[in-house]
Amino acid sequence: MNSTELSIRNKRILPVILATAIFMLMLDSTILNTSLPAIAEDLEESPLNMQNAIISYVLTVALLMPISGFMADRFGTKKIFIGALTLFALGSLFCSLSQNLNQLVISRVIQGVGGSMMTPVGRLTLIKSFPKNELVQAMNYAIVPALIGPILGPLVGGYLVDYASWHWIFLINLPIAFLGIILSLIYLPDFRQKSVGFDLKGFLIFAAATFILSITLELLGNSVQTTPLLLGLALGFLLLVYYYRHARKEEEPIFPLDLFQVRTFRVGILGNLATRLGISSVPLLLPLMIQIAYQESAVVSGWMLAPMALTAMLGKSVVIRILNKFGYRSTLMTNTFIIGLLICSFSIPGLDKSIYWHLPIILVIGFFNSIQFTSMNSIAIADLRPYQTSSGNSLLSVNQQLAIGFGVAFGLIVLKMFRGDLGLSQDEIHWAFRFTFLIIGTLTMLSALVFRRLHFKDGENLKAE
């Protein structure tokens, strides 16, 4: 096999390797939610205490994700990525073997160490492996599992718990991780950057900020006492301000401030944060509405969302042509507005209508979500210089993690605001969901204005020749 053939083969395999990591992460983050009651019963714990199994993972990821770029530069992308896959697989195995809640929490922390590195380092490898005019297509294939995982998670979790046992929600990761490790050993290139100093103080400040924000967002939607959690949010943002002041003086900060001088990166970060307020809440709110307002089973709600994965893959097949024809500015502004309009549309069918009236909206929104994620992620890294890619990619990953948390928490808070603390009839509960979809859909439409800051020619260097 000559070097050209090997290069072409590697380029076909690399997105698959990243896809295995993303699929495990996204499946794991949603599959556990449907299984917590069964795990609690088997471990003889209160279901309320099982939140620790989720929070321990989220916090570990939040703490360690900021250093993923430094670790990859220092030790090489190949070693860190394979090590991350291995730790995630071991953590999954230990989770399945846990005999009590403490063992499960420790196992989830091990999973979190691996999870914090997998996606950022895998995506960094893609960025460094492909010229920019081929990067969108590579990321396009790799990101499909990010759309499928949250949809299949609740459905797969429900079936595994009902027809097998909760242990299989963790064991299912092992063959996927094994495939990823084997492919990585054979095909994954090893990139290193010139060794730089480690900004320990900056890392501690930023890690503390993401730690506090992550735990606050995880608890915010499920707590009736919002005042302490709002104080937590304020503290998290104050720490980010403190980091900003630190980074202005530090010669080699963990996240250099010159990243934000790159306009496309700045818009990509802000756009991710703004648009995910609505997008991230839909996979949570829609199944809740189907189960609570329409009184359908969890399995039915899972199947209702499953077609979204099919149209997401269809979106992946046309997104490059759309971006090449209309450009990033027009595509993102129009696409974000359409998604907001579709979210508002979930409020139209009443309880007197069949739940299947929602199905066309679900199908269409999957298509446009697919276009949104590919466009936002690729424009964010479009103009980064080689020395900025590691830190910029890590910051993008942290931002996405927080944005998803903000979206879920925001959706639940708006829903609680309309439901109130009084007992509501089934019809009144449905109206609470309808108003919630209207609010988050309208805000999503308004978030399209963020992308006005893009220029018409932004992303030209990403176009395929």
SS in 3 state form for the chain? Answer: CCHHHHHHHHHHHHHHHHHHHHHHHHHHHHHCHHHHHHHHHHCCCCHHHHHHHHHHHHHHHHHHHHHHHHHHHHHCHHHHHHHHHHHHHHHHHHHHHCCCHHHHHHHHHHHHHHHHHHHHHHHHHHHHHCCHHHHHHHHHHHCHHHHHHHHHHHHHHHHHHHHCCCCHHHHCHHHHHHHHHHHHHHHCCCCCCCCCCCCHHHHHHHHHHHHHHHHHHHHHCCCCCHHHHHHHHHHHHHHHHHHHHHHHHCCCCCCCHHHHHCHHHHHHHHHHHHHHHHHCCHHHHHHHHHHHCCCCCHHHHHHHHCHHHHHHHHHHHHHHHHHHHHHHHHHHHHHHHHHHHHHHHCCCCCCCCCHHHHHHHHHHHHHHHHHHHHHHHHHHCCCCCHHHHHHHHHHHHHHHHHHHHHHHHHHHHHHHHHHCCCCCCHHHHHHHHHHHHHHHHHHHHHHHHHHHHCCCCCCHHHCCC
Q: What number is the average pLDDT over the span 171-196? A: 88
Do 180 and 269 sit in the same domain of this protein?
A: no
Confidence of residue 5 (pLDDT cuts 50, 70, 90): very low
Counting the structural domains of the chain, the total is 2
If 0-12 CB within 10 Å is exposed, 13-18 middle and 19+ buried, where does residue 44 land? exposed
Do 64 and 177 sit in the same domain of this protein?
A: yes
Q: What number is the average pLDDT over the span 178-190? A: 92
Do 377 and 455 sit in the same domain of this protein?
A: yes
The residue among 93 and 354 whose pLDDT is bigger is: 93
Confidence of residue 402 (pLDDT cuts 50, 70, 90): confident
Do 366 and 289 sit in the same domain of this protein?
A: yes
Average pLDDT, the chain: 85
Residue 439 lies in a domain: yes
Do 273 and 181 sit in the same domain of this protein?
A: no
pLDDT tens digits, 221-237: 665 566 777 788 899 99
Per-residue model confidence (pLDDT) at position 103: 93
State the Cα–Cα distance between residues 374 and 144, nearest whole angstrom: 9
Do 36 and 139 sit in the same domain of this protein?
A: yes
Do 293 and 188 sit in the same domain of this protein?
A: no
- Tell me, what amino acid is at 422? L
Per-residue model confidence (pLDDT) at position 415: 86
Model confidence at 4: pLDDT above 70: no
Confidence of residue 2 (pLDDT cuts 50, 70, 90): very low
Residue 242 lies in a domain: no
Model confidence at 34: pLDDT above 80: no
Per-residue model confidence (pLDDT) at position 410: 85
Domain that holds residue 60: 1-198
Residue 49 lies in a domain: yes
Do 179 and 290 sit in the same domain of this protein?
A: no
Distance of CA 35 to the CA centre of its chain: 20
Say what the pTM is: 0.85
Do 191 and 293 sit in the same domain of this protein?
A: no
* 383 and 264 Cβ atoms separated by less than 8 Å: yes
Residue 247 lies in a domain: no
Q: What is the CATH number of the domain that holds 98?
A: 1.20.1250.20
* 326 and 193 Cβ atoms separated by less than 8 Å: no
How is residue 370 written in tokens? 């697919």
Do 294 and 363 sit in the same domain of this protein?
A: yes
Residue 240 lies in a domain: no
Residue 358 lies in a domain: yes
Give the end of a domain, one of 180, 198, 216. Answer: 198
Give the end of a domain, one of 162, 180, 198. Answer: 198
Residue 243 lies in a domain: no
The residue among 1 and 351 whose pLDDT is bigger is: 351
pLDDT tens digits, 235-250: 999 999 999 999 998 8
Do 156 and 264 sit in the same domain of this protein?
A: no
Residue 250 lies in a domain: no
Per-residue model confidence (pLDDT) at position 1: 37
Do 295 and 429 sit in the same domain of this protein?
A: yes
